[in-house]
Structure 1
Amino acid sequence: MSNFGKIYSYDSRKGVGMISPETGGSALAFIKADLQEQAQEPKAGQRFEYETVQADGGKTHATKLQMQQGQHESATKQAT
């Protein structure tokens, strides 16, 4: 099942970040390998679609993050 949320934070040096679910609740961790487009670094406030998985220890984290189309176009324009 897909979920939606906005990037809360991302540390490009470590390749880790947090995404805040639109439905509320605690922010979920993700790593760069979870991004569908790894060449594009996420920025705070960008909206992503993602799935969740249970990590070791029972913590939920986000995976298969994919930037929403409108957000992708905005990010591409800002990069040029």
Structure 2
Amino acid sequence: MTHFGKIKDYDAGKGSGTITPEKGGDALDFAKADLQQEAAEPKSGQRFGYETKQVDGGKAHAINLRQQEQGGSEKANQAKQQQG
């Protein structure tokens, strides 16, 4: 299931950051390897879609982060990608 949130912080030196879920709750950790577009460093406030997995004895971790266009829905983004 895809969740959405905004980047809280990202440390390029460490290659890790946190994302705050839109639906509330604690910020989730993520690593640069979890980003779908590793070349582009995320910036604070950017909206991303992501999945979660349990790590470190049950703590949730954000994975498969995909940047979302501001104001656009995921379905609209998929439609744009399919059109070329």
TM interval, shorter chain, is 0.7 to 0.9
Residue ranges of structure 2 left out of the alignment (5+ in a row): 72-84
Distance 1:10 1:66 in 2: 15
Match of 1:29 in 2: 29
Shift of 1:57: 1.3
TM-score (norm. length: structure 1):
0.85
Given residue 32 of structure 2, which amino acid in structure 1 is its aligned partner? Answer: K
Which structure's CA Rg is the greater one? 2
Paired residues in the alignment total: 71
Q: Please give the per-residue CA displacement for 1:24-79, whole angstroms capped at 9, x wherever unaligned.
A: 000000000000000000000000000000013111010000001348xxxxxxxx
Distance 1:35 1:28 in 2: 14
Higher helix share: 1
Match of 1:57 in 2: 57
Moved more, 24-33 or 50-59: 50-59
TM-score (norm. length: structure 2):
0.81
Secondary structure class of the residue paired with 1:57? coil
Moved over 3 A (4+): none
Residue ranges of structure 1 left out of the alignment (5+ in a row): 72-80
Superposition CA RMSD, Å: 1.2
1:1-80 equivalences in 2 (<5 Å): 1-70=1-70
